[in-house]
Chain A
Amino acid sequence: MNELMGVISTLLRAFVTTLELTFLSAILSLVVGILAAAMRVSPVPPLRWAVSVYVRLVRNTPLTIVFFITVFGLPQVGVNFSFFSFALLALTLYTATFVAETVRAGIQAIPIGQIEAARSIGLTFTQVLAYVVLPQAVRSVVPPLASTFIALFKNSSIASAFGVAEAISVMTNMVNVHSTIVLSIMGATAAIYVALALLFGRAFTWLERKALIAR
């Protein structure tokens, strides 16, 4: 029992790394994704093309391969980061494509009549954006973004194979050391993952309701 308690406290510390990786990549992919979405709907054709190529390529590549290219490919051209930063880069590059598509869809789902009505009362471009487009887009974008970020949370486990000591990596080490309580270790890890995933789900539902009320 003591053995298991020790393992769990080590695991919990590893989950802190998982959460760091998740939150940092979430914030970065939100920034990159929104920027990409803005480029994707901009009236400047090369920007639109660049983003659509990026999204098409990366979305069809396994995250594992994105990791391989960043962690093993980039050092070949002289880019050397820590494993954690590489993982951050890979997860951000991958997740940002989903954010970009979601935000773009959220903007384009707004009926054109809403925007024409806003123009017809004399709102300028920035005002149309601020008072009509964005408030409506935010509402339709929160639920799909929630799934994207929960997927990111789970995807961060792939970093375990690329030198980051997050939850799954620490779990695998523990399993090798404490060979008598393998099932308990894995069960505990699974339980923490599910609990956190449910917690995030709840948090996003709350956020969604908040976005709905704040209309």
Chain B
Amino acid sequence: MPDSVISMDKVNKWFGALHALRDINFRVSAGEVVVVAGPSGSGKSTMCRTINRLETIDSGTIRVNGETLPAEGRELAKLRSEVAMVFQQFNLFSHLSILDNVTLGPIKVLRQSGAEACKEALGFLDRVGIGDQAHKFPAQLSGGQQQRAAIARALAMRPKAILFDEPTSALDPEMVNEVLEVMTQLAKEGMTMLVVTHEMGFARRVAHRVIFMDAGQIVEEAPPEAFFTNPKTDRARDFLSKILM
């Protein structure tokens, strides 16, 4: 399937005795926005992290752009640079300014010149609405601003897809929307996105497809309308009744 940016085939992972991922199969096509939902501990975050090999898998295949995820070395670094990641805890480099956070990858990995990277970075920061914060350090920004800077850092790598690992879970409630707005904008522009989140409103409005996970398995996979109005499994119904109350 040459068309899928990310694909997983029969992926399994154990944490000791815990079967964290059970026979995971799914695809994300170019330009698609896929939301992964499920109770905490369902393995959705782990699944997201395996795509960048921040977690290893025990069996199965992960492909990015049709290429099997390399195990190590420069090949792995190169593939990682093509699939950017946005973390729950933002993880901006605390010793670098916001601008340097965004330009580090383009300069060191993509080998852009400093001036070019800087110009582009400012563009990305403007796009996420914090162009005026470029010369501050991460600790001086609010959580919402930090997460938007992290999105700019991801965009600067010109990735083929962006993985979002619970991007709003560590934010104060009043800052959730500013981050979701940026993500919605990205989706409209055609970015391929895999989003692990509890924000069901976002899933409903933006996602092309919702994947529901429980106990390490993909239990249900459906377009958002179908998933929210007519979940097929008890587990999904149960989850939705709790989260939408």
- Residue of chain B at shortest CB distance from A110: B94
Please determine whether A124 and B74 come into contact, CB atoms closer than 8 angstroms.
yes
- Residue of chain B at shortest CB distance from A127: B108
Q: Is the interface of A mostly helix, strand, loop or mixed?
A: helix
Per-position 1/0 for B103-135, Cβ under 8 A of A: 011001100000000000000000000000000
Query: Given the complex, which residues of A lie within 8 Å of B82, measured CB to CB?
Result: 122
Query: Given the complex, which residues of B lie within 8 Å of A111, measured CB to CB?
Result: 89, 91
CB < 8 Å neighbour of B95 from A113, A123, A127, A215: A215
Please determine whether A123 and B91 come into contact, CB atoms closer than 8 angstroms.
no
- At the interface, yes or no: B153 with Cβ under 8 Å from chain A? yes
- At the interface, yes or no: B84 with Cβ under 8 Å from chain A? yes
- Complex CA–CA separation, A139 to B109 (angstroms): 25
Please determine whether A114 and B108 come into contact, CB atoms closer than 8 angstroms.
no
Please determine whether B54 and A114 come into contact, CB atoms closer than 8 angstroms.
no
- Residue of chain B at shortest CB distance from A112: B91
Known: A121-B109, A121-B157, A123-B105. A114 touches B94 (CB 8 A): yes
Instruction: For chain A, residues 104 to 149, give those with C-beta under 8 angstroms from any C-beta of chain B.
Output: 111, 113-114, 116-124, 127, 131-132, 135-136, 139
Interface size on B, residues (CB 8 A): 29
- Residue of chain A at shortest CB distance from B156: A121
- Complex CA–CA separation, A118 to B73 (angstroms): 14
What is the minimal beta-carbon distance from A73 to any residue of chain B, in angstroms? 45
What is the minimal beta-carbon distance from A34 to any residue of chain B, in angstroms? 19
- Residue of chain B at shortest CB distance from A121: B105
Known: A120-B80, A122-B78. A114 touches B109 (CB 8 A): no
What is the minimal beta-carbon distance from A174 to any residue of chain B, in angstroms? 50
Please determine whether A118 and B93 come into contact, CB atoms closer than 8 angstroms.
yes
Q: Interface centre among A114, A121, A139, by most B CB within 10 Å?
A: A121
Please determine whether A122 and B94 come into contact, CB atoms closer than 8 angstroms.
no
Please determine whether B54 and A121 come into contact, CB atoms closer than 8 angstroms.
no
Query: Given the complex, which residues of A lie within 8 Å of B95, measured CB to CB?
Result: 132, 135-136, 139, 215
- At the interface, yes or no: B226 with Cβ under 8 Å from chain A? no
- Residue of chain A at shortest CB distance from B79: A122
Query: Given the complex, which residues of A lie within 8 Å of B92, measured CB to CB?
Result: 117
- Residue of chain A at shortest CB distance from B153: A121
- At the interface, yes or no: B243 with Cβ under 8 Å from chain A? no
Query: Given the complex, which residues of B lie within 8 Å of A120, measured CB to CB?
Result: 52, 54, 80, 84-85, 87
What is the minimal beta-carbon distance from B49 to any residue of chain A, in angstroms? 8
Query: Given the complex, which residues of B lie within 8 Å of A119, measured CB to CB?
Result: 52, 54, 77, 80
Binding site for B on A (CB under 8 A): 111, 113-114, 116-124, 127, 131-132, 135-136, 139, 215
A-B residue pairs in contact (CB < 8 Å), sample of 26: A111-B89, A113-B87, A113-B89, A114-B94, A116-B91, A117-B87, A117-B91, A117-B93, A119-B54, A120-B54, A120-B84, A120-B85, A121-B80, A121-B84, A121-B109, A122-B78, A122-B79, A122-B80, A122-B109, A123-B108, A123-B109, A124-B73, A124-B77, A215-B95, A215-B96, A215-B137
14 extra interface residue pairs, beta carbon distance < 8 Å, beyond A116-B87, A119-B77, A123-B109: A111-B91, A117-B91, A117-B93, A118-B93, A120-B52, A120-B80, A122-B80, A122-B109, A123-B108, A124-B73, A124-B77, A136-B94, A139-B95, A215-B95
The 10 nearest A-B residue pairs measured at CB: A122-B81, A121-B105, A117-B91, A113-B91, A120-B85, A215-B95, A122-B109, A122-B80, A122-B77, A124-B77
